[in-house]
Structure 1
């Protein structure tokens, strides 16, 4: 009786009173009390067995009924870039539970060009990716413009604040491959400015790039979100880029074969809310330029 009271988190006296009340209600004795403790009567054993069976049926019913709810969920897979995942990924999933109760959201984190490949192979439904060209998919909506930053180790030879583009690209840069949108933005600007780009390390790993920058071995050009945590900790220093500025555009790109879900409007409004949050966290170096939800559709209708 003592152990039972502890497991139920009630006093032994209260538990004994509840059992006596149950015996009174049923009109039979359930427990035999003696000097060596207690034992169950035949009626007590029958009640215990039936109670266990009832509890098992309750759990099975809960599981089976919940399966109907899971089957009714609409599934959507959304690709996001590493910088977006770092800044708002966790908030995205937590908010989706309340804002999209009938939708099961799967987030896939990859670089923009990988997300586009996944989209074209119908492995994801939507992608929040940068600098998606119309030649790749016409189903795209421009949502936000964002500045890129030149990052170095603290105490480098570069001045705090702004760094000239020509000086940034002359340093020992670590960049991803030539399919990456940052690589392409850097080389487009270099072509216009007629300056060479010194890519000392080509690395398809943002974590490795940041490690090299922290150690002072390399510099890089990245979106703010990629290095936001390291910048906040003071292990990486971010510089704005001047003459010219480097800017990239965030798009919502869609698979042409995707079927709209029942909560399509709510989903699109939710994505707009996410982009607003993303722009707020990046700060003055990000500007929302479009909408994919009801606000954007209303503006298009007015035009």
Structure 2
């Protein structure tokens, strides 16, 4: 099995189109088609369902995709490791992060990294923590800053960044703001909630806390960015349960501590492959984070 066949296969799977994949790879469409046919002959099974408009993966193709991506990531890491031994850090750093992640100032960290390693191309994408964990485990991301979603596995490990309690944000005229006291999940049972997509770390933390307390809640207003959430709360359309550092993003909102949630905290981590599969660029970024004074825990929060 040739590496170029796997590269061609992954490109077609990503673009779902032979012509677009060929253009991106700078190869002829006939050459790309021949490469895919050779791979299918070797594996003795079709990898794509071809139509006049698009191509989709067969069940065998879906099974191969994850393995092909991991193999190509390992090959890339091998090339970068050799370059690092020679004193030059180059290649690509593929980083994922949730929005407004606690424990690290992502833009500042990447600026410092680029200054030290100008030959490394930086690629950044935002997504929910569950998706980011899958991307790191599959080798599509070198590392990610996210909410701790699971215990470490053979394909994924975590490095703690920080942990903090959850806070209720509400409009100053809301009844909770008038009381001004700490609240429990029971106190919030009948409220209208603004929250993030279920894959986001803050949503997962809140869902866990309410489930542990045996309180059912309904998220009426679901968003995918922090500013929309704050705008909706600011218009008194609902309340939000968020990590404590969010209270500094909109000072005119009332912030109330949450009690009665046991050990439930919002814990953020750096997600990485196992040490032997971690790219030199990812190791360099983590070293910069750990030694460069760029971690920024929220007020009153200490790394866990």
Structure-2-length-normalised TM-score: 0.59
- Report the CA distance between 1:283 and its aligned residue: 0.8
The whole-number CA distance in structure 2 between the counterparts of 1:274 and 1:218 is: 40
Match of residue 154 from structure 1: 172
- Report the CA distance between 1:259 and its aligned residue: 4.6
Match of residue 215 from structure 2: 195
CA contact (8 A) 1:79 1:109 kept: yes
- Report the CA distance between 1:142 and its aligned residue: 2.7
Match of residue 299 from structure 2: 283
For residue 278 of structure 1, give the secondary structure of its aligned residue in structure 2: coil
Within a 5 Å distance, the mapping from 1:135-174 to structure 2 comes to: 137-158=155-176, 159-160=179-180, 162-174=182-194
1:267 aligns with 2:285: yes
Judge which range, 79-88 or 166-175, deviates more. 79-88
Judge which range, 194-203 or 74-83, deviates more. 194-203
Match of residue 229 from structure 1: 249
CA contact (8 A) 2:96 2:126 kept: yes
Match of residue 91 from structure 2: 74
The whole-number CA distance in structure 1 between the counterparts of 2:226 and 2:139 is: 26
1:213 aligns with 2:213: no
- Report the CA distance between 1:176 and its aligned residue: 2.4
The whole-number CA distance in structure 1 between the counterparts of 2:274 and 2:236 is: 44
- Report the CA distance between 1:111 and its aligned residue: 2.4
- Residue 266 and residue 181 in structure 1: after superposition, are their counterparts in 2 closer, same or farther (change >3 A)? closer
- Residue 225 and residue 82 in structure 1: after superposition, are their counterparts in 2 closer, same or farther (change >3 A)? farther
For residue 217 of structure 1, give the secondary structure of its aligned residue in structure 2: coil
- Residue 72 and residue 203 in structure 1: after superposition, are their counterparts in 2 closer, same or farther (change >3 A)? closer
1:106 aligns with 2:123: yes
- Unpaired runs of 5+ in structure 1? 1-70, 290-303
- Residue 190 and residue 259 in structure 1: after superposition, are their counterparts in 2 closer, same or farther (change >3 A)? closer
Q: Which of 125, 133, 137 is the aligned partner of 2:150? A: 133
Q: Which of 143, 156, 178 is the aligned partner of 2:198? A: 178
The whole-number CA distance in structure 1 between the counterparts of 2:99 and 2:175 is: 28
How large is the Cα RMSD of the aligned pairs? 3.2
- Report the CA distance between 1:102 and its aligned residue: 5.2
The whole-number CA distance in structure 1 between the counterparts of 2:96 and 2:273 is: 11
The whole-number CA distance in structure 1 between the counterparts of 2:255 and 2:291 is: 27
Match of residue 96 from structure 1: 113
Judge which range, 116-125 or 126-135, deviates more. 116-125
Match of residue 11 from structure 1: none
- Report the CA distance between 1:214 and its aligned residue: 0.8
Listed one character per residue, the Cα deviations across residues 139-173 of structure 1 (whole Å, up to 9, x for unaligned) are: 22233212222111223211336323322343211
Structure-1-length-normalised TM-score: 0.59
- Residue 225 and residue 92 in structure 1: after superposition, are their counterparts in 2 closer, same or farther (change >3 A)? farther
The whole-number CA distance in structure 2 between the counterparts of 1:126 and 1:276 is: 17
The whole-number CA distance in structure 2 between the counterparts of 1:265 and 1:146 is: 26
- Residue 85 and residue 188 in structure 1: after superposition, are their counterparts in 2 closer, same or farther (change >3 A)? closer
Listed one character per residue, the Cα deviations across residues 250-298 of structure 1 (whole Å, up to 9, x for unaligned) are: 122124598544466543222225786321xx111x2212xxxxxxxxx
- Residue 244 and residue 237 in structure 1: after superposition, are their counterparts in 2 closer, same or farther (change >3 A)? same
